[in-house]
Amino acid sequence: MNDVEQYPKDFQEFLVQFKSDDDCWNYLFDMRWPNGYSCPKCQQEKYWITDKKLIHCVACGHQASPTANTIFHGTRKPLLLWFHIIWWVVAQKTGASAYNLKDFMGFGSYETAWSWLHKLRRAMVRSNRDKLVGIVEVDETYIGGKETGKGKQGRGAETKSLVVVATECQGKQIGRVRFKIIKEASGEELIQFIEENIDSGSTVITDGWRGYNTLSNSTTYKHEQRIISGSGQEAHELLPHVHIVDSLVKRWIYGTHQGNVSHHKSIYLIT
């Protein structure tokens, strides 16, 4: 097994790498035991594979499976179908809705498609994940339902949620991303988000909002403020990476939920 994960770069590579359920099973096996299989009960390395694709320890008879305690555990659907759906979901820049998944994959009901999507979205959240490092752009944006033309509009509108976004900058490329819904763009909430999600020693790039001012005196981070007023540049030019992420999130919400997302639903989607 190579130290570098054999992840396909595009759909053509995906089709070459995953032609059958056995290809998918072997991939999960290598991901789970990259240094070779060792029985979780007796630590012996000798085994054989049963007809039901269980790993049978020669020494103690314990049986294990690479799908145990995963989203694939107990599934009656082919692994190849799971892999195709996973690829389809993560490749959708405008988001994947249960309705689209139902039609695309031929599921019998909306509830089945929704259940699969829910499992995949939960699996995408990695606990104890590492903090962002290097050069990181931070900004806030509002997401939420369509404006009705009635009641409070713009900042603080009841249909919208204020979200702070941090994005790693890897040259022109976007690295990892973090989101959090906040009550207000105060220094207390913004700095707490930065401390929770960005590693010490990183360079934090923000706009000129006063909520970030205390970062300039920080010994933990290097702070670069890009002031929009008088610069002759737009916000998306001064903070290009985070604004691309903002745009993609809003496109996803529009594509998946037709842009009509309440504050309570925003909390579910972001978290």
Domain shared by 257 and 168, yes or no: yes
Alpha helices in the chain (DSSP H): 11-17, 21-32, 79-91, 98-105, 110-123, 187-197, 235-238, 240-257, 263-270
In a domain, 95, yes or no: no
Domain shared by 140 and 261, yes or no: yes
Question: What CATH number has the domain bearing residue 215?
Answer: 3.30.420.10
For the ranges 26-30, 87-91, 129-133, 264-268, the one whose mean pLDDT is highest: 26-30
**Domain total in the chain:** 2
Domain shared by 161 and 236, yes or no: yes
**Tens digits of per-residue pLDDT, 197-223?**
999 999 999 999 999 999 989 999 999
Domain shared by 62 and 143, yes or no: no
Last residue of a domain, one of 58, 77, 96: 77
Domain shared by 141 and 265, yes or no: yes
Domain shared by 58 and 140, yes or no: no
In a domain, 62, yes or no: yes
Domain shared by 257 and 143, yes or no: yes
- The amino acid present at 115, given as its one-letter code, is S
Average pLDDT over residues 117-122: 85
Least confidently predicted of 12-26, 156-170, 224-238:
224-238
Domain shared by 248 and 142, yes or no: yes
In a domain, 126, yes or no: no
Domain shared by 167 and 261, yes or no: yes
In a domain, 106, yes or no: no
H helices then E strands: how many in the chain? 9, 8
Higher pLDDT, 110 or 56: 56
Q: Are 194 and 215 in contact, with CB atoms under 8 Å apart?
A: yes
Domain range for 253: 135-147+157-270
In a domain, 107, yes or no: no
Domain shared by 141 and 69, yes or no: no
In a domain, 97, yes or no: no
Residue 2 has pLDDT above 80, yes or no: no
**Which residues are CB-neighbours of 162 under 8 A, at least 6 positions away?**
140, 141, 142, 181, 182, 183, 184, 185
Domain shared by 231 and 162, yes or no: yes
In a domain, 117, yes or no: no
Domain shared by 247 and 164, yes or no: yes
Last residue of a domain, one of 46, 61, 77: 77
In a domain, 28, yes or no: yes
Last residue of a domain, one of 77, 110, 127: 77
**Quick one: how far is CA 85 from the chain centroid?**
16
By DSSP bridging, strand 160-170 and strand 173-182 are: antiparallel
pLDDT band at 247 (very low <50, low <70, confident <90, very high): confident
Query: For the whole model, what pTM was predicted?
Result: 0.59
Structure tokens at 127: 């606990």
